[in-house]
Amino acid sequence: MTSSPDLASPPEDGPSARYPALFAPQRWEWGGIDARFALTLPPDRLISNIHLIGFTADGLVVVCEDERGLWFLPGGTREQDESVLDCLVRELREEAGARLVGEPAWIGAHLGVTDRPEPYRPWQPHPEKAWLWGWGEVVVDGEPLNPEDGEQVVRVAALPAEEAAGLFGHEPWRAELIRLAAELRAQSRSAGA
């Protein structure tokens, strides 16, 4: 008699096996947050932050550098009553001077729980929240707007995916997220060809 497969176990060649740092539990001390990435999209009410791995027409990844010399992927905190798409469009313009071309493809989200007594902003979900991650085609056609309450971007670059991933050696999960986005984009383009 053969045993049935464990349906809860991810496939050995699936994204969680190829990108173990991305799927590993995270502790984000800056927010007192324990988080874990999942390919399942969270309910809208839990989404507090939206981020994008933006690809130029020639397949380069758009990254931003702030005044402290830290590199990051465009995106940020959702405003009160703001839709996911409106937040993404605003954050791309503010941080990268970029414009979304077409619809984003959602990859998954970090689901987190904070041990802080109050939400970061009064309208945000608390203590559970989610950071939504996606990829999409973008055009960098302006300068970052650098609002006073946001990161002050000093440089926007479009780099090959591996070079962009290399900027996040101190956070291997971000490097793996870029690689996963590049993989999904390649699959999408070959399916559409």
At 87-109, the pLDDT tens digits run: 999 999 999 999 999 999 999 99
Q: What is the pTM of this model?
A: 0.91
* d(C-alpha 179, C-alpha 183), whole Å: 6
For residue 1, pLDDT beyond 50: no
pLDDT of 4 reads: 38
For 99, half-sphere exposure in the C-beta direction (CA atoms, 13 angstrom radius) is 4
pLDDT of 151 reads: 86
pLDDT of 88 reads: 98
| Nearest CA among 48, 51, 45, 56 for reference residue 116 | 48
Domains in the chain (CATH in brackets) are: 20-192 (3.90.79.10)
- The residue that leads in pLDDT, 9 or 116, is 116
Q: Which residues pair with 159 in a beta bridge?
A: 61
CB 160 within 8 Å of CB 61 = yes
